[in-house]
Structure 1
Amino acid sequence: MTRSISYMEAIGEALAQEMRRDPTVVAFGEDSIGGMGASGKLGNAWGPTKELHREFPDRVLDTPITEAAFVGAAVGAAATGLRPVADILFTDFIGVCFDQILNQAAKLRFMLGGTVSVPMVVRTLWGAGMRRGAHHSQALYPLVTHVPGLKVVVPATPFDAKGLMAQAIRDPDPVIFFEHKMLYWTRGEVPEEPYTVPFGQAAVVREGADCTIVAIGAMVQRALQAAESLAAAGIDCEVVDPRTLSPLDEGTIYRSVEKTGHLVVADESNPRCGAAADIAALVAQNRWAALRGPVRMVTAPHAPTAYSPLLEDLYVPDAEAVAAAVRQTLGAVPAAG
C-alpha cells in the first residue's frame, strides 16, 4: 500500500523499520532525540528521528557537539558488530570528522584484508536555499565521492529516500547519505512496507530524445521543470537521476547520451572537481563519438554560499539556467563568453 508522505517522513520511516528488523541498528548524533529527551521536539535539525527514542530508548542517543568522537565511535561500533547510523547534521561539519571517515571507515576493510567490514551510515543535511550562510549550505558530496571505500547516496524523492536509506543500513560498507534540506517537505508516493533501492542504479525520471540532463539531488526537480518548459518549444529532454554517486551507474548515462547526442549536467556543488565535472569527463572520454554538441555543466559558482537572500538565489542554479544550457548545447543560442 502506498500513500503520500514527505521526504523527511520517508527517512524516519526507513530508520524505524530497519531498527525493528535488525536489533544491531543504533542511531545517534546531535539532537537525535532532542536535548536528551528533555524536549523530544527536534530529532535532527527538523525532526525525522524525533519519535525513534520512544520505541528504542536504548538504541537512539543524543551526543555532545563532538563529530570526531561520535563518528569515530560509529566506526568502532560498526567494526565490532553493530550497524550505527550517525547524524552529523550539516554536511559542512564533515571536516571535523573527516579523518575518521577518510582514513578509518573507508580503509579498514582494505587494510585488514577483508576480515573486517564497517557497516555504518553517516547522515547529513546539505544544500543552499534556506538562508543558512556559508557554514550550513554546502554541497560536499564530491569530497567523499573522491574517497575509495565509501558509498555516496544523494536521493531526490521520498520514494528513493526511504529505499536508499534501508539499503544503506543493510550495506556492509560505510555509506554517506546526503539529505537536501530543501527537499524535506516535498511529498511523494511511498509504500508502507519496507523495501530497498539498489545502489548503482540510476533512474530515468523523464524520457526524451533531444538532450540528456543528468541531475543530482534537488536539481532533479529543476531539471524536470526545465524539461517541461523546453517541451513547449519542441525540445524533448531526458532526465537521469544517478541516485548514488559511488557507485555511479555510468551505463544508464551512456545509453541516454547515445540516444540524444547531447548532455547537460545539473549539479548544485561547486564546479571545480565536482560531480558535474566528473560525469562530463566520463562521457567525453567514453562516449565522445555519440556527442553532437558540447557538454554543458550547470553548477553553483566557485564561491562560498552567500548569506544574502538575493545573492543566495543567484547562487543556486534554477530551472531557467538548466534550460539555457540545453539550448546552448543544441546550438539554439551561443554560450555566454
Structure 2
Amino acid sequence: MSIPMLRLAKWGLISKRCFSNTTTCESGKTVNLFSAINQALDIALDTDPRSYIFGEDVSFGGVFRCTSGLADRYGKHRVFNTPLCEQGIVGFGIGLAAMICITDRETAQLQKSSLQIISFPLLIRHESLWSQIVNEAAKFRYRSGNQFNCGGLTIRSPYGAVGHGGHYHSQSPESFFCHVPGLKVVIPRSPQQAKGLLLSSIRDPNPVIFFEPKWLYRLAVEEVPEHDYMLPLSEAEVIRQGNDITLVGWGAQLALMEKACDDAEKAGISCELIDLKTLIPWDKETVEASVRKTGKLLVSHEAPVTGGFGAEISASIAERCFSRLEAPVARICGLDTPFPLVFEPFYMPTKNKILDAIKATVNY
C-alpha cells in the first residue's frame, strides 16, 4: 500500500500506484483530487433528487473547480451561489436538512438527502459560522431528543497548507471541530479516498465536516473508479505494515510520512503507517492494535502541536497501551505560531523532521 503520485518537487516524484482496501482501479480513470470530488458530487446529485450544492461561487465551479459543470447538468435551482455570508449559508443548510428530515418521516422514505457547502475562507474565521455549526448543527438531534436532525448536512471546506496561503488560508482547524460532540470530521489523503469518503459523508445520518487538503487538489493523481462507491467512515487504514514503530497521520501529511518510512527502512527501521481518515469518531482500536505490536507511536499533522488532534491520540494511546509503550509518544506538528508565509518551510512538518523523530523514538 502506498501514497499516490504527488507531482510536487518539494516532496519528490513518487511512482503512481493505486491503492485502497475496498475498491479496485481496473475500470478507473486517472484523475486528480478535485476531479474526484466533482465525480462524487455528480453522483450525489444524480442519485438523490433532494441533494443541493450551494455556497460561495459554486455555480461556476468554485475557486478550486470542484463543482465545475454541475449547475449546467442539474440546474441552478440545485447548484447555486449564495451571498458571501457564512452564517446564512450554514443556517440555511441546517434548516433545509432538517425540513427534508421531517419529509422523510412523513413519507417513510429511507433515502437520505445531502447538502454540501463550500466556504473558501477558513471556517473558524467567522464567529457566526462557528455558532451555526457548533451550537445548531451539532446539537440539533440531541436537543430534540432525536425527534429532528440535520443529518443530511455535509460541509465541505478546503484546509491546510497551500504553499502560499500565509496566516489565513493555510490553517488546519480540524481539532476545533473534533471538540464538538455531534459532528463527524473526515479528511481524505488521495483522489480515490476523497470520492468514496465524500459519498459516505453525504449519506451519513449525521452532520459531517469534510476537509479537503488544498495542496492535493491538483497534485495528488491516481486511478479512481468512475462508478458509485463508498468507503467506511471511522475506520483507519493500515497502508504500510511494520514492526518497529507506528506512524499515524491524515490528509496531505501521509505523503511526507510515506517518504520518511522509505528512508527509515533503508536504515533498518520497519514502520507501520496508518491513515486515520476520520478524526471524529476515530478508530482507536486499529491504532491501539498497532502500538501493542510495535511499542512506539509517532503522530504528525500540520496544525500547531499544542491542542492539536495528535494530543488526543497521544493521551488515548497512553491510557490504553501504557504497559506496552517502550518510548514516549512523538508528535511532529506545526509550530505554536500563526501560519507564516516566508518561513513556511520552518513551520511545516517535513520528511526529515519525521525521519529524525522515527530514529529518536526507536533508539530511545
TM-score range, shorter chain: over 0.9
Trace 1:142-221 onto structure 2 (pairs within 5 A).
142-185=175-218, 186-221=220-255
The corresponding residue for 1:100 is: 132
Q: Which amino acid aligns with 2:190?
A: T
Shift of 1:273: 1.4
The corresponding residue for 2:149 is: 117
Aligned residues: 322
Which segments of 5 or more consecutive residues in structure 1 lack a partner in the other structure?
A: 35-42, 333-337
Contact in 2 for aligned 1:92/1:135 (Cα 8 Å)? no
Trace 1:14-163 onto structure 2 (pairs within 5 A).
14-34=40-60, 43-57=61-75, 58-81=77-100, 82-93=113-124, 95-96=126-127, 97-118=129-150, 119-163=152-196
Structure 1 residues 307 and 145: alpha-carbon distance in aligned structure 2, compared to 1, 3 A threshold: same
Contact in 2 for aligned 1:83/1:120 (Cα 8 Å)? yes
Q: Which amino acid aligns with 1:287?
A: C
The corresponding residue for 1:38 is: none
Contact in 2 for aligned 1:203/1:242 (Cα 8 Å)? yes
Give me the whole-angstrom Cα distance separating, in 1, the residues matched to 2:235 and 2:122.
24
The corresponding residue for 2:6 is: none
Give me the whole-angstrom Cα distance separating, in 2, the residues matched to 1:15 and 1:161.
11
Q: Tell me the secondary structure at the aligned position of residue 239 of structure 2.
A: strand
Give me the whole-angstrom Cα distance separating, in 1, the residues matched to 2:210 and 2:172.
12
Q: Deviations over 1:52-97 (max 9, x none)?
A: 1011112001111100111110000010105321111233555340
Q: Deviations over 1:115-160 (max 9, x none)?
A: 1121201101111142111111100000001100000001111111
Give me the whole-angstrom Cα distance separating, in 2, the residues matched to 1:177 and 1:103.
18
Q: Tell me the secondary structure at the aligned position of residue 103 of structure 1.
A: helix
Structure 1 residues 220 and 297: alpha-carbon distance in aligned structure 2, compared to 1, 3 A threshold: same
Q: Tell me the secondary structure at the aligned position of residue 220 of structure 1.
A: helix
Contact in 2 for aligned 1:88/1:94 (Cα 8 Å)? no
Give me the whole-angstrom Cα distance separating, in 1, the residues matched to 2:55 and 2:153.
13
Q: Tell me the secondary structure at the aligned position of residue 120 of structure 2.
A: strand
| Superposition RMSD in Å | 1.1
Shift of 1:29: 0.8
Q: Deviations over 1:191-224 (max 9, x none)?
A: 1111111111001111111110001211111100
The corresponding residue for 1:329 is: 361
Give the TM-score, by structure 2 length: 0.86
* 2:254 counterpart of 1:233: no
* 2:333 counterpart of 1:314: no
Shift of 1:257: 0.5
Which segments of 5 or more consecutive residues in structure 2 lack a partner in the other structure?
A: 1-26, 101-112
Contact in 1 for aligned 2:124/2:173 (Cα 8 Å)? no
Structure 1 residues 122 and 94: alpha-carbon distance in aligned structure 2, compared to 1, 3 A threshold: farther
Q: Tell me the secondary structure at the aligned position of residue 303 of structure 2.
A: coil
Shift of 1:15: 0.5
The corresponding residue for 1:270 is: 304
Moved over 6 A (4+): none
Give me the whole-angstrom Cα distance separating, in 2, the residues matched to 1:133 and 1:86.
24
Q: Which amino acid aligns with 1:49?
A: T
The corresponding residue for 1:288 is: 322
Q: Which amino acid aligns with 2:74?
A: F
* 2:57 counterpart of 1:11: no
Q: Which amino acid aligns with 1:11?
A: I
Give me the whole-angstrom Cα distance separating, in 1, the residues matched to 2:51 and 2:321.
42
* 2:289 counterpart of 1:255: yes
Contact in 2 for aligned 1:129/1:316 (Cα 8 Å)? no
Q: Tell me the secondary structure at the aligned position of residue 37 of structure 2.
A: helix
Contact in 1 for aligned 2:34/2:66 (Cα 8 Å)? yes
Shift of 1:3: 2.4
